[in-house]
Structure 1
Amino acid sequence: MREGDVVADRYRLVRTLVGGATGEVWLARDAVLGRDVVVKRPGPKYAGRAGAALLRAEARALAKFEHPHVVTLYDAVFTGPAEDPVSWLVMAYVPGGGLAGRTPLPPWEAARLCAQVAGALEALHAKEIVHCDIKPGNILLDHDGTAKLADFGAAYRLHGSGTITPNGPLFHTPGYAAPEVLLGAPEPASDVYSLGVTLHALITGRSPGRAGAERRRGALARETGPLRTLVKRMLHPNPAERPSLAEVRTGLEPPCGTRIDADPARRRGRRALTLVAVAPVPALALAAVIFLWQPGILWEPGGTPRASIGDQRSADPCALADPGVVTRFGTTKLDPYYGDFDRCDVTVQPPNQEQVDVELQLLGPADDAPAGPVRDLHGFRVVAEAQEGQECHREIRLPATGGGGTVDVSVKQRPPRAPLCAIADAAVEHATGVLHRGPLARRRLRRPGNSLIHRDACTLLGASVLRTSLGSAPRPEPRFGHWGCDWSGAGRLGVRLLFDQGDPQDGRGGRPTRLAGRPAFVWPDEGDGCETDVVHRTFWFHGDQKVESLDLTVTGDVPSAERCVQSARLAEAAAKAVQAQQAHG
């Protein structure tokens, strides 16, 4: 294959990413959806039926589940005659490339990435699949610093249900494979071992070689500094002695609400830390840097904030919220189901007043000029806007060095009687303090498999559906976490699809109907748009009924009736797409 060739009349090859006897990986352009993808096919060593069987096996492994830290499989393409087929996998393009060959990472950053991979492996193992080839080259880095696990060509199914790879020698990478993998008997703990070796390699910047021997295990562990105890357990030659992935992830993730203090007298009883002494200099005192190791991650007290949102889909906005910091304004309650998935709310009930809603929402990097005065708080730029009517607004802008991002803080009350901006400032003070201590914690509140939190809004409206309603198929523009998507530039109409959660709609002001077999409401025009909400699922939280819904809005300079017809049509198509994805696992 050459640059410019087209696969399956759709994917135009742009450039080679990986090439060799065992396989080819290309960056390609999807002519239908107008997006970059990665296409992969077997190399000369596995041509024809053997290669097709390999890729089918890998496709089945990838199709078993969706996870924010696993490369997304879009399609499996098989062309040519049955006796000599040409097979391709079509996957999401992860622009940052693999972690192999990079300069050494700080222990806290290596821990953050490996914690994400550990979460992906937990999901894999729940489907009775062992990856069998965890290494830096198979961990890709997205544009926002998210780790994505790739290459399931060596995956192995457990419990006698057959291997994912064909019978024969088990694929593995020397130096990263657990001892039992070398004997052809992989098990879930094998991935724990390989992840431990990978963690070492990311910190030291070099291949660890044959890490299985006991004499090497101790040396590797020492080189990982404050992570040494965990790494040593992960590299134990006996699979039964290795920690579970849940233990690994907990040991690598930053704990919610961790406080770092440089005063030794206030650190009594805490796990750790080490003094890194610097050689004496005449007329100067000895210098030292104090590092703290708590049940989470490595931090440096003071200094530059290490804030980063990291992977958008697993970042926990509720890690920034603390009802306790606003209790002086009334009775408070934390509600993680009050708004979109990128948001967490604290409700405040002042005496004899309407409820106050404190919203903390994660957004991408801000690209506009501040809309108000800017001040420095815990090392962050905080934009303070003046109160307007029923709302006071603050914006925390994260430094680009950590991947960027924005925390939007809005405090609302109707009618406004409480000191809304004082409440906003208290919430911002706490949130910036949390961010200063390190990367944002990952979500601990688990959602069921049918939750919209696991879906990608940009995949729910295909090109044919958009052309039918809009006359063209504009390129999707994902919002934070892909829980929202916009399609603009389609002539006179624009489309916005959002995943929402909160209290059930009472239907007042909307037209009730049913779409895709689900309750739905079509809302009359507000401005130039018509919105249709389709209830996806209903559940209970602390005795209160909650719903998740798909909210689709069509805007444009067309008659109101047409906007609402297209809104309902596209909302139903999106709801059916979710049902189809769930039916296929």
Structure 2
Amino acid sequence: MIRRVMPLLVLLLAGCAAEPGEPAAPPVPPPTSVFPSVSAQPSPGIKATEEQLRRADPCLLVDWTILTAYGSLERVETPIEFTDCEATVYRPAGTSLTVSLGFGLAFGEGADLRPVERDGVTVQVGELGQYGCGRGVAVAERAVVSIHARDDRHPGDLCAIADRVLDAALPKLIAGDVPPSALPDESLANVDACALLRPEEVFRLRGIDRTRVTPGFDGQNCTWGEPEVSETNVFINFGPALPLEADSTGDRETEIGGLRAVVHPQPGGSNPQYRTPPGCEARIEYRRLDRPGQVAEIEEISIQVTADEDEKYRCDLVTDLAEAAVRRLP
């Protein structure tokens, strides 16, 4: 399988070349890629590699039936991106336990994670507030495996559950036996989100920080501008989703580049912690996912523009960006 090149190189090349058949234009200086750093050095004792994680299916790294010790295993799914897996368990007491295992550039949640030794491997451990517990292993400088267990009504055994999932994953990581994904070459799992747009296209958005672009692990998402939800930015994400529906006020069904799409205005909002400016999202149905016996799903491209601008400006721009992105799909 041909894998993507690093986003920074793609962006540098994009800033210097015109599309075939398009007139040359003065180059727009590309932004600087921002890579989150991990909080620990790669752990010794791990044979698994960053490239293996980039080709892997996180749902295959453990046998999720181990969670039946805590209740009824309802589902195991890829919830948002192909680099994440989530299991849901209904407990006898009526609560819902969620356990996630994902691959990323950094550990993310759990700033208070601390290193401990486990089976000759350095593992990061810590609680995620009152109702969560986290575990992590650094495979490479920018490739980590993170495990989170959550239950907002039954917090007592969450660290024991996270440890049980970690113990199931560690032998494969130690041996370098990471099951590869069965997704085909044409899947969005093999596309770099940062490579779908050019700086001159994104920088049409008034007020965006032109110095920053933040790629997600394995190119499954990309944020142009400040990555905070309270800032002006453009965000692209790939992942599985239910078939598209125009189910919100103001939604518009359309086609973008010959693909079925829904354009969804977002009103924004605020709470005491942060404010989210209004936005507009283009959701594009890329291909059907063939998963026999499971709920029908699609591979979806989501492009969002967030800015304190009127709705027409936001949605016109996100539609233009989506059309440009679809043109560059493999």
Which of 316, 320, 323 is the aligned partner of 1:573? 320
CA-to-partner distance for each residue in 1:56-112, whole Å, 9 max, x for gaps? xxxxxxxxxxxxxxxxx99789xxxxxxxxxxxxxxxxxxxxxxxxxxxxxxxxxxx
For 1:411, the equivalent position in structure 2 comes to 149
Whether contact under 8 Å (1:525, 1:531) holds in the other structure is no
Task: Report the 3-state secondary structure (helix = DSSP H, G, I; strand = E; otherwise coil) of the residue aligned with 1:459.
Answer: helix
Q: How do 1:393-412 and structure 2 match up within 5 A? A: 393-398=134-139, 400=140, 405-412=143-150
For 2:195, the equivalent position in structure 1 comes to 459
**Bigger RCO of structures 1 and 2 (CA < 8 A, at least 6 apart):** 2
Q: 1:482 to 1:74 in 2, by over 3 A?
A: farther
Task: Report the 3-state secondary structure (helix = DSSP H, G, I; strand = E; otherwise coil) of the residue aligned with 2:252.
Answer: strand
For 1:375, the equivalent position in structure 2 comes to 116
For 1:427, the equivalent position in structure 2 comes to 165
Distance, in Å, in 1 between the alignment partners of 2:130 and 2:316 is: 36
Between 522-531 and 314-323, report the one with greater CA deviation.
Answer: 522-531
Q: In the TM superposition, what is the alpha-carbon distance from 1:482 to its structure 2 partner?
A: 0.9
Distance, in Å, in 1 between the alignment partners of 2:79 and 2:101 is: 11
Distance, in Å, in 2 between the alignment partners of 1:412 and 1:458 is: 31
Distance, in Å, in 2 between the alignment partners of 1:410 and 1:506 is: 31
For 2:39, the equivalent position in structure 1 comes to none
Which of 521, 544, 559 is the aligned partner of 2:264? 521
Please state if 1:470 is matched with 2:206: yes
In the comparison of the two structures, how many residue pairs are matched? 284
CA-to-partner distance for each residue in 1:114-146, whole Å, 9 max, x for gaps? xxxxxxxxxxxxxxxxxxxxxxxxxxxxxxxxx
CA-to-partner distance for each residue in 1:467-504, whole Å, 9 max, x for gaps? 322367555432111111121269x7222222132446
Q: How do 1:295-310 and structure 2 match up within 5 A? A: 304-310=45-51
For 2:299, the equivalent position in structure 1 comes to 548
RMSD: 3.9
Distance, in Å, in 2 between the alignment partners of 1:454 and 1:385 is: 32
Whether contact under 8 Å (1:397, 1:407) holds in the other structure is yes
**Amino acid paired to 2:283:** V
Which runs of no fewer than 5 residues in structure 2 stay unpaired?
A: 1-7, 22-43, 270-274
For 2:216, the equivalent position in structure 1 comes to 479
Which of 58, 69, 93 is the aligned partner of 1:317? 58
Q: 1:354 to 1:372 in 2, by over 3 A?
A: same
Whether contact under 8 Å (1:309, 1:439) holds in the other structure is no
**Alignment TM-score, normalising by the size of structure 1:** 0.42
Whether contact under 8 Å (1:343, 1:362) holds in the other structure is yes
For 1:436, the equivalent position in structure 2 comes to 174
Q: In the TM superposition, what is the alpha-carbon distance from 1:454 to its structure 2 partner?
A: 3.1
Q: 1:318 to 1:360 in 2, by over 3 A?
A: same
Task: Report the 3-state secondary structure (helix = DSSP H, G, I; strand = E; otherwise coil) of the residue aligned with 2:283.
Answer: strand
Distance, in Å, in 1 between the alignment partners of 2:234 and 2:188 is: 19
Distance, in Å, in 1 between the alignment partners of 2:246 and 2:98 is: 22
Distance, in Å, in 2 between the alignment partners of 1:346 and 1:507 is: 28
Distance, in Å, in 2 between the alignment partners of 1:470 and 1:520 is: 20
Distance, in Å, in 2 between the alignment partners of 1:418 and 1:538 is: 40
For 1:534, the equivalent position in structure 2 comes to 283
The structure with the largest strand share of the pair is 2
The structure with the largest helix share of the pair is 1
Q: In the TM superposition, what is the alpha-carbon distance from 1:518 to its structure 2 partner?
A: 1.1
Which of 333, 339, 360 is the aligned partner of 2:101? 360
**Amino acid paired to 2:276:** D
Whether contact under 8 Å (1:389, 1:416) holds in the other structure is no
Whether contact under 8 Å (1:503, 1:546) holds in the other structure is yes
Whether contact under 8 Å (2:246, 2:253) holds in the other structure is no
Which runs of no fewer than 5 residues in structure 1 stay unpaired?
A: 1-28, 40-72, 78-302
Q: 1:327 to 1:309 in 2, by over 3 A?
A: farther
**Amino acid paired to 1:431:** A
Distance, in Å, in 1 between the alignment partners of 2:65 and 2:295 is: 22
Whether contact under 8 Å (1:509, 1:523) holds in the other structure is no
Task: Report the 3-state secondary structure (helix = DSSP H, G, I; strand = E; otherwise coil) of the residue aligned with 2:267.
Answer: strand
CA-to-partner distance for each residue in 1:315-360, whole Å, 9 max, x for gaps? 3322323212222012226634322111122222323524322111
Task: Report the 3-state secondary structure (helix = DSSP H, G, I; strand = E; otherwise coil) of the residue aligned with 2:176.
Answer: coil
Distance, in Å, in 2 between the alignment partners of 1:377 and 1:74 is: 52
Whether contact under 8 Å (1:522, 1:568) holds in the other structure is yes
Distance, in Å, in 1 between the alignment partners of 2:73 and 2:296 is: 19
Distance, in Å, in 1 between the alignment partners of 2:248 and 2:129 is: 26
Q: In the TM superposition, what is the alpha-carbon distance from 1:433 to its structure 2 partner?
A: 2.4
Q: In the TM superposition, what is the alpha-carbon distance from 1:426 to its structure 2 partner?
A: 1.0
Task: Report the 3-state secondary structure (helix = DSSP H, G, I; strand = E; otherwise coil) of the residue aligned with 2:45.
Answer: coil
Identical pairs, percent: 20
Q: Structure 1 runs of 4+ off > 4 angstroms?
A: 73-77, 365-370, 414-418, 471-475, 503-511, 537-540, 564-567
Distance, in Å, in 2 between the alignment partners of 1:448 and 1:372 is: 36
CA-to-partner distance for each residue in 1:19-70, whole Å, 9 max, x for gaps? xxxxxxxxxx99xx86268x9xxxxxxxxxxxxxxxxxxxxxxxxxxxxxxx
Task: Report the 3-state secondary structure (helix = DSSP H, G, I; strand = E; otherwise coil) of the residue aligned with 2:205.
Answer: helix
